[in-house]
Homo-oligomer: A and B are copies of this chain.
Amino acid sequence: MKVKNAMTADFLRSAYGGESMAHMRYLIWGESAKKDGYPNIGRLFDAVAYAEWAHAKNHFNVLKDEAGDNTVAAGAVFGHTNIVENLQGAINGELHEIEQMYPVYLETAKFQDEKDAYKAFHYALEAEKIHAKMFADAQISAKNKKDIGDEKIYVCPICGYTEIGDNVEKCPVCGAKRDIFKSF
């Protein structure tokens, strides 16, 4: 696996940085949600953190032969106050990825004929669309001081596809069998 173009390599590094920081802030916000009496929103943060791990890993692995130290420029959301605001931060981050970041990265990967990068960006974008919706639903509950339901949340470890409940036989994004899904 080789990345041929510097711009695609840069975008993979930025995406790795963005996913790594998203993974981390969801772990942090998830811990707070549990402490604040929202165990199921906490679980949602943990599940989505795991999906962002899958995205970061995919980007990192497309770059596996590009060894070296880099300064990475990547988008991140900050703030750690209350659950409604934390969920707003999560929604903002996901929407930025859906509306701006991944569409441009995908267009570049197509333009530069970088198939492995294209696949990694595609997997991420599809999952982020789901995440934005899940966080928005959770925020509606949290605004009413209610937790979300206790249904299990499943994540595909290959592409980060995320679902509440047991709805599909195989991953609709990457085709993986659901018996490898991780449950939260």
Contact = CB atoms under 8 A, between A and B. Distances in A.
Interface of A: 13, 16-17, 19-21, 23-25, 27-28, 53, 56-57, 60-61, 63-81, 85, 89, 92-93, 96
Nearest to A56: B24
Contact of A79 (B57, B68, B74, B76): B68
Nearest to A18: B72
A29 B111 CA distance: 31
Contact of A80 (B23, B25, B60, B80): B60
Question: Could you say how many copies of this chain the assembly holds?
Answer: 2
Contacts of A16: 21, 24, 76, 78
Contacts of A28: 56-57, 60-61
Given A28-B57, A60-B28, A69-B92, A78 B20 contact: no
